[in-house]
Structure 1
């Protein structure tokens, strides 16, 4: 069963995709910039749906979600807390990519009893300095830079592949469907504006980042899967390699010939790793929602 729904979190209406009817709940958290739940998790939702109840929300000002927040990891952790409180489960498995990984990690550190397993994919929050932080910070200060990039990159799929060269291992090898998804996002200004605010809040002119959970990893009391593309040009694979040594119960999957967008660059390899790691058990429906359905769930054809 596949559907969509909306959860009210503070002043935001958080849109989400929902799939599956049986099995433990898994929540997938997308990243920043030219992303939303459909872009990063297009193949993963379907791959998990036969065994798990899958929820993939859009962050505020991304996808179909509305409402504004201060775009920081701290505020996303608060949004995530509200969203998970709307679900009929005491605990879930969390999987986040990039910025979404940073939010998932921050939440798991603060609420380990509510997270069964934690998946961090090319994750933000595992280090103090990004190689290209200074460049991204400067770009975020240029008025209209995001809008100009959006217009330039949405001219053709070839121009989109040029943009993706800064994120993936081999833009020319990407499936046309992935490029189509990114091109559609580039025509939507809200997420780029949200990303610019995130850059302003999280990146410094010295190249350092505001959110760094490295010193907290020794206390992370949640089984954790770290997945990272070996050729990630944005977030260093060394972040995940170091984190695997620090987290008490951790497993690391480094994926060859893969950049920052692992679930779309190597979907089969990524989904196999995720399915092998997620819990193999059944989730009993709650008293409040005997069919384990979300309030506001509507049918969808995708």
Structure 2
């Protein structure tokens, strides 16, 4: 039997198929180059863990049982609606080391084979563009990006190492300056990408990018999967970092789904002060 969800909010409650639940949000049509629709997603335990940290090395690891096939299908649906994916150097390093799977292309994973056709039917490019946000510029691009003809941009702060930036440009890569310091800042990055014609931007760049897009008032929606589990652990990562957010961190719930079989809530939040 195909997986089902119970939508609890907004009411009245409705039973619906899991497949297609997030495609129905139509994110690819909600933004414009003048105001791109920017969204992020996280999977968290009830005690706020998105990853556990190794006590000896400090490296993060995804706790077994935090994610399952249901939330991965919905992740792929979010990915499919993006004109552009924003990732970071840490992900590319882990990808090169074989620690993480490649999720930079649409329609290549069994739960989402149909999504390549969905993009074409909705007038989107076969594959999204990819932005790598980095302060260190210490990464290697996966060959899959060139193989699938994806546009690649490297986002840096103005104070990024000049020699490395110039080397990227000499290699023919498109470099975006977004921020006055070493780190990439969310608001200028979104403005630059909107100026390049992108309408829907999906953040795959972790807590730092979530924080800077919230502070910059450019995040449109946060998708949060909450696994009905407690992990504990003294060292862990949560989905937000940095100093206190204040009013920039105020959110309102837009919708709530219950996955009884998978033991998860799928929730969507929108900033109160975008």
TM-score normalized with structure 1 length: 0.35
Structure richer in strand, relative to its length: 2
Structure richer in helix, relative to its length: 1
